[in-house]
Structures are given as structure tokens and as C-alpha cells.
Amino acid sequence: MVCDGAIGDVCGTASLCGDRGRIAAEGAGSDGTGDADLPGRFVRRDLHVHPRIGTNAMQDLVELHLRPETLERYGLPDIPYPVPASLLESVLRDSGALPLALLLHGLQQRSRNGGVEWRQIEPAMDRLAELLAPDDDRQIISASGDHWWLEVGTVDLNAELVTIQRGDHLIAAITNRDDGRLRVAAFRPLDAKSAGYLIGLGLIPSPEHGVCMRESNWQYALDSAAGNGNYYAAERDEAYLSYWQKGLGIS
């Protein structure tokens, strides 16, 4: 793609994704069928917005096409990179480094639903994760947020496991630590649903109510893997939980 007059690292082609087919915050056309009527400060000859229908997870996201030299500099594949429409103007104004975390988040959201070519998005997600995370040669590390905690390290696939899978593909394996907390090993880039599973299962236990009324994170993981919703998620080609009592492949 030739990008005459492109803004920073972003090519001048953007397409709108969303159930409502519009960028509400930026004044796109109300019917979602024509080009967006963007404010004057936002209209440039090198930026075009093409509405199209997407999925719930893709509401109000726009796709950015990066310039060839930028793709080469960061080692990224030439695919559209979705970002929240409400942040599009600030992304285009910023002449600094690419918003790598924002690009990764958009790809995670895009790849979460069934019916998308999620494996074709994985190389970009994998590369963005490499750019964001510094090299760490430790065998065991932790990942945490305000309300969740997980141990990240090697997992014995012959032990009792809860897995996140997508079709026949192993996304992540989860095992029980001695204290009922969880250790996880990821084998493929995490889409938003897979990441959501890990964050939810890794909730920090409450002194009074445990983890969602279970005594431990491991018990919560076992109960979650037994839910009927996993069958329907697998039918939709989405990430789902499975339980393996005697190791992967042996129920």
C-alpha cells in the first residue's frame, strides 16, 4: 500500500467496525451506511472511514493500516490493526512510538469470537507481546492485577489439568499449586476471552467468601470447566475450558 501524506506511522486507510456501524463519539453518519461525517479537524485526504458491521466485541473500533516501513521496523505483519474509535484522533496525532498495548488489545478483541480467522491474527499478537514484555529468563514469574494473581511457569501436562482450548488447539494449561492458587502456562497468544478466563480464575480469594463461594481458585477452575457453556463455546469455535483428570488427552 502506498501512503502519500500518511500521518506518522499510520496509513490513511481506516475501516469502521461495530454493531452500530458508526463512531458515535466522533460524529459518524447515523445510519452507518455512508462515510462518516467527521469534524473538520479530523478530516484529511489520507484518512477514509468505511463503516461495516462487526461483532459485539468490536463495537466502535476502527482499523489502522500501518506504513510498510513501520511494519518492517517493528517486525509486524501487514494486517489491519483495530483500535478504539474514541482514541483514533489521539493515535493519529501522536508522532511517537506506536501504541503497542492498544494494538494488542484490539487484536485480542477481534480474535475472541468464533467465525474469525483467529490463527491468522496470532503472529501479530505474538510479536506485539514480544515487543511489550522484556526478556525474562526466570523459570517462574507472577502476573497480577488489582484483584487477581497467577503464577506463570512450566506445567506438567501429564498431571491433573484445566485447559483453555480452541478446537483442538491448546491455548493454556492450568494446574493447582499447593495452596490452591493457580499456575498457568500459555502455548498460544491469548485472545480476549482466554485472557478473561485466566483473570477470572485467578481472583484473589476473599477471607470470608473464598473465590466466588469456592474454597480455592483451583476448585473454582474445576467447577468452571464443568459448565455446560464450554460445550456451546466449542461449537462456536471460541475458547473454552476443559478438565483432564489424568493429564492432557486422558479424561
Last residue of a domain, one of 111, 132, 153: 132
Mean pLDDT of all residues in 158-177: 96
Q: What is the length of the chain? A: 251
Last residue of a domain, one of 132, 164, 194: 132
pLDDT of residue 9: 43
pLDDT of residue 91: 77
pLDDT at 80 over 50: yes
Identify the bridge partners of residue 183 per DSSP, sorted by sequence position: 151, 175
The three-state secondary structure class of 178 is coil
pLDDT of residue 29: 29
Share of the chain above pLDDT 90, in %: 61
Q: Could you tell me if 146 and 62 lie in one domain?
A: no
**Residue 24 domain flag:** yes
**Residue 2 domain flag:** no
What is the pTM for the complete model shown?
0.75
Q: Could you tell me if 126 and 146 lie in one domain?
A: no
Last residue of a domain, one of 132, 166, 197: 132
Mean pLDDT of all residues in 72-91: 89
Least confident of 130-134, 201-205, 247-251: 247-251
Q: Could you tell me if 117 and 155 lie in one domain?
A: no
Q: Could you tell me if 196 and 227 lie in one domain?
A: yes
* Domain limits for position 62: 10-132
**Residue 88 domain flag:** yes
The DSSP result for 101-128, as a single string, is HHHHHHHHHHTTSTTS-HHHHHHHHHHH
**Residue 185 domain flag:** yes
